[in-house]
Amino acid sequence: MDRTLRARALFVVVLTMALSTPVVAAQDIPQPTLPPDGELARVVDVVDGDTIRVERSEGSVERVRYIGIDTPEIGRDGEPDEPWAREATNMNDALVGDEVVLLERDVSETDQYDRLLRYVWVEYPTGWRMVNGELAEKGLADVRAYEPDTKHHQWLTQLRDEARADGRGMYGDEASDEGDLLDQIVEFFLGS
């Protein structure tokens, strides 16, 4: 084996090991606690993986967009669904459909589409859990920092990184970005 081919093979092995090594958080960020000033509302519709409609205590029905996460989009107007959109929507429905949830505000009241921006909490037999985090932890949502609403961004990022490292949800799919990148690197250095 000539030096160039051996060097390329070694590079691919080292790069493969680096890409497959889980990112270990230097410090575990504790799960947020239930906010004392949250608003209770009943879920009347699950729109998609990161948007619901709720009935508030005064009777108004509002759309709520989950803060800090972004799920694949359901196709509209004849467009196809993005991969994992139905799974994210179905999980969201399983978590909050017809439930009473607690809405936690960060800084902004609404987004440019007049949706309420909230962290959404649901009660389990073991206690309250944030749905935004549940979706990130299951690998069904990516994490996004939309300034100024970043109160729980580091915690959500930690959950997303753990889902990626464990190959959960859309991060275990063959079409994931990491798999495509590795395939491209191997093809570049070793040829097809």
Catalytic residue among 65, 129, 160, 164: 65
* C-alpha to C-alpha distance for 168 and 48, rounded to whole angstroms: 19
Are the C-beta atoms of residues 33 and 23 closer than 8 Å to each other? no
- Confirm whether 137 is a catalytic residue: no
Catalytic residue among 86, 115, 144, 168: 115
- Confirm whether 3 is a catalytic residue: no
- Confirm whether 115 is a catalytic residue: yes
Catalytic residue among 73, 86, 105, 144: 73
Which residues are known to be catalytic?
65, 73, 115
